[in-house]
Structure formats: C-alpha cells, structure tokens
Amino acid sequence: MSQLVVMGNTRLKGEIRASGSKNSVLPILAATVMIEEPVVFKNVPELRDVQTMISILQQIGKTVSFENETVTIMPGEILVGNVPYELVRKMRASFNIIGPLAMICGWAKVGKPGGCNIGQRPVDFHLKGLEAFGFKITEEHGDVMAVIPQNFEKEIIYALPFPSVGATEQLMTTATLMEGSKVTIENAAREPEISDLQNFLNKCGAKVSGASTPTIKVTGVGKLNGAEYSVIPDRVEIGTYLLGAIATKGDIKVYGAIADHLIALLSILEEMGAGIEKSHEYLRAFWKGPLKPVRVSSEPYPGFPTDLQPIITAVLATVEGTSVLEENVFENRFGYVDELNRMGAKIKVSSSHANIRGVSKLSGAEVIAPDIRAGAALVMAGLAADGETIINNVTHLFRGYERFQEKLRTLGAKITLYPDEE
C-alpha cells in the first residue's frame, strides 16, 4: 500500500499551471466511440483514470496514443460492444460509454462501475433516460445490456430526477446520433464540464444547445466528424491548491485558471477573509490574517462543489469559532472526518452536517485516505500541521491530480511517496 509522508509547518508559496480537467476529458473521450474519424485532444492530464478510459477505447477497437498531454484517437478495424468489468470497476465515468457504444454497435454490455466510496451513485438516472429514448435495458450478473430501438421517436422529452452530471453527459452524447429525433433533457446538470462536452460535440458536427442551463436540446445527426479540441482547466485541482495556500497561510498563483468556474469557492474564501486576486491569466489565493468561520453547503453547480468539500473542511479545522458544512450531494462524503480528528481536529458529523470547531493547530499523525478528494484534504492538513503526517492508501490521489508531488514541491512542500509509483 502506497504512503505519502508530509512534513508540516509548510507554507505553500509560488506559481503552478492548471492541468486539464479530469471530469471534462473522461466523458469527452467516451463520446469518441461515435466518431469514425481521427480526433486529437490537447491539454489532457496524465492521470490513472484517463489511462483507464484509453484502455477501454482500445479494448473496443480504437487506436489511441497519448504523449505530451495530447491524445490522438484513430478509428480501429473492429468495434465491439462488450466492455469487461475489469476495466469498468476502476472508475464510475467508464459507464458513460454504454450509450455511445450502443449507438455504434446496436448494443452494448457494460459492467456496473466502481470508483470512490463516497456514497450511493446508482446509474439509474442513466438507464431511465436511455429507456425514455427507446433503448431496451436489461441487467444480469452485474452487467447492463443496452439495445437501441428499431426507430427513435421524433420528439423525446426526459426530465432527470436529479441534475446528475454523468447522466446529463451520457444522454446528451447519445442523443447526438439519434438522427431525425429532437431530444430535450430537463433538470440537466449545469457544470462547466457539460459546456465543454457540448462545445466538443458541436465542433464534431453535433447540434446541441443549452449547456449551462437546466434545459439541453439535441437535434440528432447522422454522423459526427473528427476534430481537434483543447480541454478546459481542472477547476477542482485549481480549487484544491487555492485552499492549500489558505490552509498553510501561504500565497500561490495558479495560471490557466478560469475564475467563472469557481465563483462559489472564491465567494466563500472572500467571506472567510482570505486574499483573492483574479486575473485573465491566473487566480491567486493568499493569507492576509485570521480567518472567520463560515457556513458552506455543497450543491450542484453553480453551488459549492462537493469535490472541494473535504479540502475546505481541512482549512476550517483551524479557523477560530464554529463552522458548519452541509453535504447535499453524496451521503458518505464525510468518511475522512475521523482521520482529520486523529490529527487534532474537532469535527462532529450528524447526518448531512458537520460542525467544525476550529483548533489553533493540527498535529501530524498516521491516517488513511478513503478517496481522491479526502486524500488531498489530508495532504493539505498535513502541510499545515505540526510534525510529520503519514497518509496511507494514496493511490486514489493519482486518479485525480496530475503531477501532484511535483506541483506541491514547486510550491515548497516536503512530500515523499513510498513506494515511488506516481
């Protein structure tokens, strides 16, 4: 089991550049199943989840190369509709392939996905949406089979029960090749990654509108063309480092950041009394004095992102007074709280709420990272704490953060991975 050893009492200072968005590139890669021409992507982060999606594309017949943050996808000789569970179990975003693959092959069989244990994330919204499109869906032995109908209805309206990002992406992508159909997806997710996917699909000849609003409209076309596309920066990665600067009383600039993607976070940081500087080229976060406790509620975009909830908790753990954090997306997102409390934090969880009573200083300890974002939170807490922190099970981190050690060391962190497998 891999470990990160983090030396405390470190102020993060300096400049780094944002990586491409993991949560954007994965559904975009899944969409290439429906494109039978070359596709080139720029600004792709070198992450384990990206490698997993590439392996899935190769498994079904695509020819894929990945070098210098550029992914090139060439059409293969044979496209198969079966994706083995061994690949799908590694991450949830792999399920986004079932609709596009069925559109090309007529059917697709995909295992129910794995990923981080942060709460129930059933694929029901995906499947109910595909059924509303006319797909025949069956489940057996842990696999889901999707078969396209003989003909699609000319007009389809589907309202998501919850603005699920993955289901919105799945349905929007699948609908692009439903030629002759006009599809409306209501209560759609509004995250920037949805807009990025829409922009890519439209560049390939799709007719999609409404991303960043609750209603997305798709007019199906007969064919998607190849294209070259650059992925947006990763707002969760950017937010993590900005929060790390505040947690450690530091000062950092993240180049390539888009402020509009992080409005909720920047608003909370300013409310806390942190220093924020916005530029077309970068975002800067810096310590300028004692912080104030706040109330934070994680919500679907444009609300505060659930992926940053654990990291802001690590910051609030040392803010004098009592802060309240409400989690409205994943019911098991507080799985890291016991680990922070091992470091001296005073956090009590009741249902979907965490009450955080700030302490003057955290203390280094041996802890376990239960998921990607919790792992990042423990690293930032360790950098701010007294002494040494040993974080176990950090393999998760490399699914979500590109060159994590390298970037932190650039900012002055003393951090070592054992064994060195990044």
All residues at 6 or more sequence positions from 83 whose CB lies less than 8 Å from its CB, including other chains: 56, 59, 60, 94, 97, 98, 101, 108, 109, 110, 111
pLDDT mean over 338-346: 97
Per residue in 263-284, pLDDT (tens digit) is 999 999 999 999 999 999 999 9
Rounded mean pLDDT of 256-269?
97
**At residue 115, does pLDDT exceed 70?**
no
Amino acid symbol at 377: A
Tell me whether residue 299 is exposed, middle or buried, using C-beta atoms within 10 angstroms of its C-beta: 0 to 12, 13 to 18, 19 or more.
Answer: middle
CATH number of the domain at 3-18+233-418, out of 3.30.420.40, 3.20.20.70, 3.65.10.10, 3.90.660.10? 3.65.10.10
Q: What residues form DSSP beta bridges with 41?
A: 71, 229
Angle between helix axes 192-203 and 22-31 (nearest 10 degrees) is 30
Q: In which band, very low, low, confident or very high, does the pLDDT at 141 lie, cut at 50, 70 and 90?
A: confident
The whole-model pTM stands at 0.93
| Pair of tokens at residue 47 | 């992450």
Please state the domain extents for the chain: 3-18+233-418, 22-230
For the chain, percent of residues with pLDDT exceeding 70: 95
Per-residue pLDDT at 265: 98
Is residue 116 annotated as part of the catalytic site, yes or no?
yes
Q: Is a pLDDT exceeding 80 seen at residue 99?
A: yes
Q: Which residues is 147 bridged to in the sheet?
A: 107, 136
183 Cβ neighbours under 8 A, 6+ residues apart: 133, 156, 157, 158, 171, 175, 217, 218, 219, 220
Buried b (16+ CB within 10 A) or exposed e, 361-383: ebebbebbbbbbbbbbbbbbbbb
Rg (CA), the chain: 22
Return the half-sphere exposure (C-beta side, CA atoms, 13 A cut-off) of residue 371.
23
pLDDT at residue 149 in the model: 97
Question: Which pLDDT belongs to residue 143?
Answer: 87
Main-chain dihedrals φ then ψ at residue 111, nearest 5 degrees = -70, 155
Helix (H) or strand (E) holding 239: helix 235-247
Q: Do domains 3-18+233-418 and 22-230 have the same CATH topology?
A: yes
Mean pLDDT taken over the chain: 93
**330 vs 121, residue with greater confidence:** 330
Average pLDDT over residues 292-297: 97
Instruction: Decide if 269 contacts 276 (C-beta within 8 A).
Output: yes
Instruction: Note the pLDDT of residue 116.
Output: 44
Pick the CATH number of 22-230 from 3.65.10.10, 1.20.120.1730, 3.40.50.300, 3.40.50.720: 3.65.10.10
Confidence of residue 95 (pLDDT cuts 50, 70, 90): confident
**Token pair of 131, please?**
């059924």
Q: Average pLDDT in the 158-186 region?
A: 96
Judge whether residue 180 has pLDDT over 80.
yes
Q: Which of 116, 123, 165, 378 is an active site residue?
A: 116
Helix, strand or coil for residue 249?
coil
Given a cut of 90, is residue 2 above it in pLDDT? no
Strand partners, 251: 13, 286
